[in-house]
Amino acid sequence: MIKSDSKPTNSEHKTIRTAIAGATGYTGAELVKLIVGHPKAELAAVTSRSYGGQSLDNIFPSMRNIVNIKCEDMKPESLFGRIDCIFLALPHKISMQYAPVFLENNIKVIDLSADFRFKNLSAYEDTYQKHSAPKLLEQAVYGLSEIYKDDIKKANLIGNPGCYPTSFLLPVVPLVREGVIKKHGIISDSKSGVSGAGRSASLTSHYCEVTESFKPYKIGAHRHVPEMEEILSAQTGENINITFVPHLLPMSRGMLTTIYAELSDNIGHKTGHNIEHDSDNTGHDSDNTGHDSDNTGHDGYNTGHNSDNAEDKDGHSGHKGYEAILNILKQYYDNHFFVRILPQGKFPDTAHVRGTNFCDIGFWVDDKSRRVIIVCAIDNILKGAAGQAVQNMNLMFGMDEKTGLELIPGAI
C-alpha cells in the first residue's frame, strides 16, 4: 500500500509523530512501510546502532525513492518533543531499558518484544531475565487488539503479543471463555516462517539449514508458552497449561497454527446466543456482543446440515457443536475486520494472509473424537508483530483500527 503522493519526505498533513527503534530489523522495516503509508501518522525518526547516518533506502533497496529518512543513534532525549509514539522493535531486555524514559516524557510506547507482555513478574523473569522496570508491568496492556481493545484505547504502554500467541489466542480465548471447549489438554501445533527468528544471521536460520526441511524446535521449552498460559489463565480465572509444539517452515514469512481441543460435555446446550461479556474483567469490546440470535450461524454459512439430523446416536451433536463454536467466534469477531472466520469446509492458508494484518480461522468438529480442530493463519511479521502494533497505535490515538492497514492480500 504505497500512497500515490509518497515522496522521500514524510511530512504533510500527518497527525501522529512516530519513531521506530530497531527500524533495520524485519518488524522495524515492516513498521516503516506501514507508517509511511499511514494517512494519519508520520515517520519522524528511525534509530539503529549498526547503520547510524545511513538512509533507509540505502539499507533496504526496496524503499528506493520512497523512504530516505536517515537512521539516528538511539538517544531518547533527542526524540523528546519530536514524537508522540515510539515503536520499540528491539530484542527483549533492550526495550525495558528505554520504555520508562519515553513514558516519563509523555510518549506512548508500543513494545514488540516480550518485556511488557507479562503481568506475572516471576513468569517473565523465569522465562527471560531480570526485569529492570517491573513496576511498569502493572500499567502495560497486552496488545492482542481484538480481545483487549478497550484497555488498549486507554493505554500508554503496550506489550505487543508474540506471533505464536496471537495465532493461538485469537481463536482459543472466546472458546475457553464461553465454555464450549475444555480448558485442559489443549494442544497447539504451530509452524512459522524463518523471519520469526529476526534478521540477524544465525546457523539455525541459514538457507541450507532450512530449505527442503521441516522440523520442530524447542519442544517443552519455547518462551511463548508462559505468555499464552498467562493470558488464557487471566481470561478464565483458572490456571491453564497447554501443549505447544513450534516448527520451522522453509519459507520467509507466514504462520499456521493447528489447535486441538476437547469439546465440553454440555456443548449441545451452548448455542452461543445471549453471551454476556464481563467487559470490566476482560477488556472486551461490548459492541461485539449481543447480536440478534436469529442471525447467528446462518448468514451465508452453509453448514450442510439440517436440524433433523442435529444429534448423533450418543445424543451428542456435531451440528450443535459446530453451530455453538461458529456462533461464539462470530459474536466475538463479526465486528473485527482483521479476524476472518471461514465458512465450513474452508481452512486457512498462509498465502491468503501474507503481507496483511488478517487472521484467518477455520475449524472442524470431529464428533467421533469429541474434539474441535481449529486452524489459524497469520503473517508473523504483520498480525503477529508490526501490523498489530499499528492496529494498537490506531486504537490508542482514537482512530479506526483499520487505518493504514487495509492491505489487500495478493492472489499468489
Residues at the site binding ligand NAP, with contacts judged by CB under 6 A: 22, 24-28, 48-51, 89-92, 94, 112-113, 162-163, 195-196, 198-200, 380-381, 384-385
**Which residues, in sequence order, are bridge partners of residue 185?**
none
| Nearer to ligand NAP (CB atom), residue 379 or residue 401 | 379
In the annotation, is 163 catalytic?
A: yes
| Nearer to ligand NAP (CB atom), residue 196 or residue 404 | 196
The three-state secondary structure class of 360 is: strand
Helix (H) or strand (E) holding 33: helix 26-36
71, 85, 163, 376: the catalytic one is: 163
* Minimal distance, residue 36 CB to ligand NAP, in Å: 17
* Minimal distance, residue 329 CB to ligand NAP, in Å: 23
To the nearest 10°, report the CA torsion of 347, 350, 355, 357.
50
* Minimal distance, residue 253 CB to ligand NAP, in Å: 8
Q: How far is CA 404 from CA 88, 175, 354, 370, in A?
A: 19, 30, 16, 42
* Minimal distance, residue 164 CB to ligand NAP, in Å: 8
* Minimal distance, residue 243 CB to ligand NAP, in Å: 21
* Minimal distance, residue 351 CB to ligand NAP, in Å: 17
**Which residues, in sequence order, are bridge partners of residue 217?**
none
* Distance (Å, whole) CA 106 – CA 396: 13
| Nearer to ligand NAP (CB atom), residue 172 or residue 255 | 255
| Nearer to ligand NAP (CB atom), residue 325 or residue 389 | 389
Residue type, 39: P
The crossing angle, in degrees rounded to 10, of helices 224-236 and 163-177 is: 20
The crossing angle, in degrees rounded to 10, of helices 387-396 and 26-36 is: 50
* Minimal distance, residue 72 CB to ligand NAP, in Å: 11
* Minimal distance, residue 20 CB to ligand NAP, in Å: 10
Q: Which alpha helices (H) appear in 276-359, and where do they start and end?
A: 279-282, 318-333
Q: Which residue is nearest to ligand NAP (CB)?
A: 25
* Distance (Å, whole) CA 135 – CA 137: 5
* Distance (Å, whole) CA 46 – CA 306: 57
| Nearer to ligand NAP (CB atom), residue 193 or residue 297 | 193
| Nearer to ligand NAP (CB atom), residue 28 or residue 362 | 28
* Distance (Å, whole) CA 224 – CA 230: 10
Evaluate whether 112 touches 59 at the Cβ level (below 8 Å). no
Which cell is 226 given? 508462559
Find how far residue 98's CA is from the centre of its chain. Answer: 23
Burial 285-304 (b: 16+ CB within 10 A, else e): beebbebeeeebbeeebeee
In angstroms, what is the C-alpha Rg of the chain?
21
| Nearer to ligand NAP (CB atom), residue 48 or residue 235 | 48
Burial 306-325 (b: 16+ CB within 10 A, else e): eeeeeeeeeebbbbbbbbbb
| Nearer to ligand NAP (CB atom), residue 25 or residue 283 | 25
255: phi then psi, degrees, rounded to nearest 5:
-145, 135
Active site residues: 163
